[in-house]
Every structure is written in structure tokens, then in C-alpha cells.
Amino acid sequence: MFSADLLANAVVSGLLLGGFYAAVAIGLAIVFGQLDIVNIAHPAFVIVGSYTAYIFNTTFGFDPILVGVAAMPLFFAVGVAIYRLYYAAFERTGQESLSGLAFFFGLMFIIEVTLILAYGVDYRLVSAGYSAQTLSIGFVDLPGRMLVPFLVAMTLTAAVWLYLSRTFMGRAIQAVAQDRGALQLMGADPVRIKQWAFGLGIATAAIAGALLIIIGPVEPSVGRQYIGRVFAIVVLGGMGSIQGMLIAALLLGVTENLVSTFYGPSWSPAVAFGVLLATLAIRPAGLFGR
Amino acid sequence: MRGRGFWAASAALLAAGLAFTELADNPYYFNATYVVLQALIMAVAWNILGGFTGYVNFGSAAFFAVGAYTTIFLQKAFGLPLPLMILAAGLACGLIGLGVGYLTLRLKGVYFAIATLAMGIVLETLVNNWSYVGGAKGTFMLTPDEHLWFDSYSEMLFMIMLVLALGSIAISRALSSSRLGRGLAAIRDDEVAAECSGVPTLRLKLVSTTVMGAMMGVAGAPYPYFVTYVDPISAFNLFIAVNAIAMPMIGGTSHWAGPVIGALLVGSAQEVITVTISSELNVLLVGIMLVLFITLAPQGIVGLARKHWRKRS
């Protein structure tokens, strides 16, 4: 049962999986980590991204990743609109904790049920040339349906990291997380910056969704399994740190894959939530707390 | 509502329930009211923590499912009578609630909410892998033959649920109007200030999470007999958790009557829509109503009524 090449394969495919998790979690790392908005509907937006990729792939034959990139502006606009509503209804009146949470919970539910009403609960999948190919290095296999999402996820992570640390707007987003009042004194409008950042966070869901449906078939309630994963990753990564988030994502991917290889796939959902519970109970600041 | 009026109304409802089981024959009525009453207990229980102290619990379905699976386990292992199982489910979920209460020591606000969500999935995975109670395949429950003096088993379950619901409302009402309830409200408004003023916040939070857990477990205990087939997907259904949050939010979380009003209104609307239109649409409706109410009327129906009252006087 236990052998070196099985272990090596489990670790490598865990790393590929973890890289993909980073793409799902990065939007939340911005929205929850930097802005302190508990968007538990983020995985639901990822699923919307998957269905967008699915629709354009099956009707026009477009590549899912291209569809994801093309859908980003639309997702951005939706994100901005949702933030405006969230700000007007909750943040301005200081009710974001209880009502804000319930708001996103309801939003997640609405998205899921709408998708079920429109497309049913059947698993949907896309076809792309690279998903059937496999790259083999020694005894380690790198299947294309995992490798391509991994590479795209790494590109996305690097791009967001560069954006946040190099551009004016990116630094302003980090500033709004640290000290809202000081930012206002510098002549920047925190609400406009937060709305931009929220839009950016939702826009990444378009790409993450395309990657999700390349990796495997998707149905509307799949998003729920990702709630635990993405929050585990963001909290473990130390809230808003992009490097920390990436390391946490890779760690979770490898752990989950090892558990599913050696104990059976039915146990793997508990890994993320177990890690999350343990982190919250023992070290809420995460591995790389700010 | 003053003390005597409340008890008189409860006794009248109980008598009406008994009369209902004597007069009505159509089993649909009992099944529909059972579902509404089950949701009512869940909503009242959620509000004891969520409404009174402001800690949001997303894991309501997990407590409900543990209650249901306690019944399944005890039925398979010992074949106990239903009242004992309800008691055992209450105890088991009360203990889990106590554990959740200790989580509040370290986790405030959103972190607590996410932790309860995580707890739900961990418990679901455990049940999925526990083959004795059916695992992921689920399990069938046989309805016992005897049903006291009632015409059918579902009539008896309806009556049991009515008693449990009235009991939950009485407990919630007693909690909210007591010294303890004022302590809980102090935690909701400002936990640090409450602690500084000598409110024993940890003990109060533990009481509130334990009562909440026990009540949800009690609501889940008769469920296997009601549906006769239980699997993890139906018992841990997100819909149960959404209802438990939506009903108090729509009714109003600050008053004990809020979740009752919300549950009766939303629960009955769901039953009507399920029959007349479709069951998917009824699920969607709850989500939309939840979002609409918390954006437009954060104080719920109770809050709207209060505003209306003040304007008139």
C-alpha cells in the first residue's frame, strides 16, 4: 500500500491541487483578508464562473480559460454593485457583523438555487485539448487537467501580488485594511477603494470557476465544499497576506491529497474544515499573522 | 403578553391540537404542520444564541442531524421508546452546544460563524463514514405499530412536535425576560463592557449555546420516524440552516416572539408554495425573503410593528 512513487505522486498532485486552491482563495484573501467583508458567497461566484465557462465552451467551443478572462470585467461590475448594496445597507449603519453575514449567506443560497433551477443538479463539464493529455517526468504524472489550472492559478496569484504591492491602487487597498481614517486624511475615498477591491475579488472568481470546471465536473452545490477550504486557506495564511495564502493553499492541497490517497476520498472534505477549526481554536492569527 | 395570558394561550393551543387530531383525517395536514413546527423549534433555538447574544450559528443543520442520528443509533442499538430518544438527543446536542460555547472564548464575530459552518461539515463527514448508522447510503426506519390513542403515527408525531414547540417557546420567553436574558442582551450590545460591569459572560454564553444545541437536537430526534428514510444529505441539508436563520431574521431577532412569527409566516408560505407551484421555488423564496428583509427591514416584522405602534401613539 505504502510506496515511494505513490507518495511522490500524491505530493505532486497535491501541490497542483493546492495551486488551484490558491486561485479560488485569492479573491477572498482580498475581500475578507484586506477589507474584512465576510463574503461566504465567494465559492458561489466561482461556480457561476464555472457555468459561464461551460455555456460558452459547449455552445461556441471557446477555451474555458479565455472565457474566464473575458468574463472578468462583467464579474468586476457585479462585485462593485454588490459592494454598493452592502455598503448602503450594512457597513454605513454599522450592522455588518450579523446582518452582513446573513446577507451573504442568503446571496449564496439564491445563486445556488437559481443555478439548480436553470441547469438542474447534473454534473457539467467542458472539453479542452489539454485536459486529456498527461506529462510524465520519471514516475511522476502531471495530468494536463491539473497542470494547466495550476499554471494559470500561479500566474493569477503573481499578478494580484504585483498589483497589490506595486501599483497605487493596490497599495491603497492594503492601506484601507490597515487604517481607514489615515487613508481618508491622505485624500483617498475608502468606499471607492473598497468597492474597487471587492470588484477585483469577484473578478478572480471568473478565472477560478473556469479552472474548477477544467479540473472536474461541476454541479451547483459543489461550491459549498469550497467554503471551508477557502476560509481555511485565508485564515491559515494570516488574513490578507498573498504569500501566506499561497503557502497555506499548497499545504492544504498536499494534506488533502495525502489523506484521500491513504485513507480514502470520503475523508478529504473533513481535512480543510478540521484544519480551519484547529487554526481558529489554537492560533487565530494564522501561520503568518499580520 | 403577561404570564397568565401566555400560559392560557399555550393550553388553548394544546387543546386545539388535540381536537385537531380527533377531527381531521387527511394525513397531509399533520405532515404539513409537523414541518412548520419543526422549523419553528429550530428558529426559536437559533434565536436563543443568534438573536439574544449576537453570535451567528451557521451549523444549525448539524445539531438537527446529530439529533436525528442519535435516534437512529439508539433505535438500532437498544430500541428505546421515542420520549427517551428525544431526551438523549437533547443531551447529546446540548453537550455539543456546550463545546461550541467554549469556542466563543477565542472566536468572536465572523470567526465563530465560520467555525460553526466548519463543525457542520466535519460532523457530516464523520456520519458519512460511520457505516453502523447507514453511512453515505442512508438508512431506513420502521414506524412503530402502537400510537397511543391517536388514529395514526403521524398524528402522534404532530402532537409530540406541538408539545415540544410550545415548550421551546416557553423556555425562550423565560430566558429573554429573566435576569439571564438581560445579561445576554448586554453581551450582544458590547461584550467587553458587559464583562467589565460584572456580567458573567462566559457562563451566560455557555447556557445559551447549550440550550440552543439541546433544542435543535430535540427538533431532530423525531425526524427519522417522520421521513422513515434518513441520509446525511437530507439530515445535514443547508436548507435547514438557512431556514433557522431566515425565520428569526424575518420575524425579528430582538424579541422572543420574532422567530415564532417568522416561522409561522415563512413556514406556512413554504407549504403553500410547495403544493401550488414547486418545491424548488419555495427554497429560492426563502433566500430572497432573507436578503430583502435584512437589507430593508433589519429589525424584522416585530421591529416594523413596533415602529407602527410608536407612530400611532
Buried b or exposed e, range A148-187, using 16+ CB within 10 angstroms: bbbebbeebbeebbebbeeeeebebbbbbbeeeeebeeee
Q: How far is B302 from chain A (nearest CA, A)?
A: 16
Angle between helices A190-215 and A168-178 (to 10 degrees): 110
| Separation CA A42–CA B249 (nearest Å) | 22
Residue with cell 497599495: A171
Q: How far is A109 from chain B (nearest CA, A)?
A: 6
What per-residue confidence (pLDDT) applies to A279? 78
Looking at the predicted structure, is the pLDDT value of residue B280 above 50? yes
| pLDDT band at A290; cut points 50, 70, 90 | very low
B185 shares contact with chain A (CB less than 8 Å)? no
pLDDT tens digits, A17-33: 999 999 999 999 999 88
3-state secondary structure of B177: coil
Q: Could B56 and A102 be called an inter-chain contact, meaning their C-beta atoms sit closer than 8 Å? A: yes
C-alpha cell belonging to residue A209: 470557476
Looking at the predicted structure, is the pLDDT value of residue B89 above 60? yes
Looking at the predicted structure, is the pLDDT value of residue B232 above 80? yes
DSSP conformation letters of B219-253: HHTTHHHHHSEE-HHHHT-HHHHHHHHHHHHHH-S
Q: Could B107 and A114 be called an inter-chain contact, meaning their C-beta atoms sit closer than 8 Å? A: no
pLDDT tens digits, B6-48: 888 888 888 888 888 778 778 788 888 899 999 999 999 999 9
DSSP conformation letters of B251-284: H-SSSTHHHHHHHHHHHHHHHHHHHHS-HHHHHH
CB A197 within 8 A of CB A31: yes
Upper half-sphere CA count for residue B232 (Cβ side, 13 Å): 19
- Going by C-alpha positions, the residue among A153, A133, A137 that lies closest to residue A145 is A133
Buried b or exposed e, range A37-46, using 16+ CB within 10 angstroms: bbbbbbbbbb
Q: Could A109 and B290 be called an inter-chain contact, meaning their C-beta atoms sit closer than 8 Å? A: yes
C-alpha cell belonging to residue B219: 427538533
What per-residue confidence (pLDDT) applies to A159? 94
Q: Give the domains, in start order, of chain B with CATH numbers.
A: 28-312 (1.10.3470)
What average pLDDT does range A210-215 have in this prediction? 92
What average pLDDT does range A47-70 have in this prediction? 91
CA angle B39, B44, B49 (to 5 degrees): 125
CB A197 within 8 A of CB A34: yes
Q: Could A105 and B290 be called an inter-chain contact, meaning their C-beta atoms sit closer than 8 Å? A: yes
Interface contacts A/B by beta carbons within 8 Å = 119
Q: In this complex, which of A40, A99, A113 lies closest to B294 when CB atoms are compared?
A: A99
Q: Which residue of A has its CA nearest to B106?
A: A281
| Gyration radius from chain A CA atoms | 19
C-alpha cell belonging to residue B309: 405602534
What per-residue confidence (pLDDT) applies to B116? 86
Chain A environment of B124 (Cβ under 8 Å): 269
C-alpha cell belonging to residue B266: 415563512
Q: How far is A40 from chain B (nearest CA, A)?
A: 9
DSSP state of A141: E
pLDDT tens digits, A161-202: 999 889 888 888 888 877 777 777 777 788 888 899 999 999
CB B210 within 8 A of CB B98: yes
> What H or E segment, with its residue span, contains residue B178?
none
What per-residue confidence (pLDDT) applies to A1? 52
Query: What does pLDDT average to over chain B?
Result: 86
What per-residue confidence (pLDDT) applies to A198? 94
Dihedral pair phi/psi, residue A143, rounded to 5°: -70, 140
Looking at the predicted structure, is the pLDDT value of residue A95 above 70? no
3-state secondary structure of A143: strand
- Going by C-alpha positions, the residue among A53, A80, A70 that lies closest to residue A201 is A80
| Separation CA B139–CA B72 (nearest Å) | 8
What per-residue confidence (pLDDT) applies to B39? 93
B285 shares contact with chain A (CB less than 8 Å)? no
Q: In this complex, which of B110, B249, B290 lies closest to A38 when CB atoms are compared?
A: B110
Task: Give every CB contact of residue A199 below 8 A, 6+ residues apart in sequence.
Answer: A75, A76, A77, A79, A80, A83
What per-residue confidence (pLDDT) applies to B263? 92
Chain A environment of B107 (Cβ under 8 Å): 280-281, 284
3-state secondary structure of B139: strand
Q: How many residues does chain B have?
A: 313
What per-residue confidence (pLDDT) applies to A289? 56
Looking at the predicted structure, is the pLDDT value of residue B194 above 90? no
Amino acid at A204: T
Q: How far is CA A290 from CA A12, A198, B170, in A?
A: 29, 21, 46
What average pLDDT does range A109-119 have in this prediction? 89
Q: How far is B55 from chain A (nearest CA, A)?
A: 8
DSSP state of A217: -
Share of chain B above pLDDT 70, in %: 99
Task: Give every CB contact of residue A252 below 8 A, 6+ residues apart in sequence.
Answer: A18, A21, A229, A232, A233, A236, A271, A272, A275
Dihedral pair phi/psi, residue A136, rounded to 5°: -115, 125
What per-residue confidence (pLDDT) applies to B228? 85
Q: How many residues does chain A have?
A: 290
Q: Could B125 and A281 be called an inter-chain contact, meaning their C-beta atoms sit closer than 8 Å? A: no
Chain B environment of A109 (Cβ under 8 Å): 238, 242, 283, 286-287, 290
| pLDDT band at A150; cut points 50, 70, 90 | very high
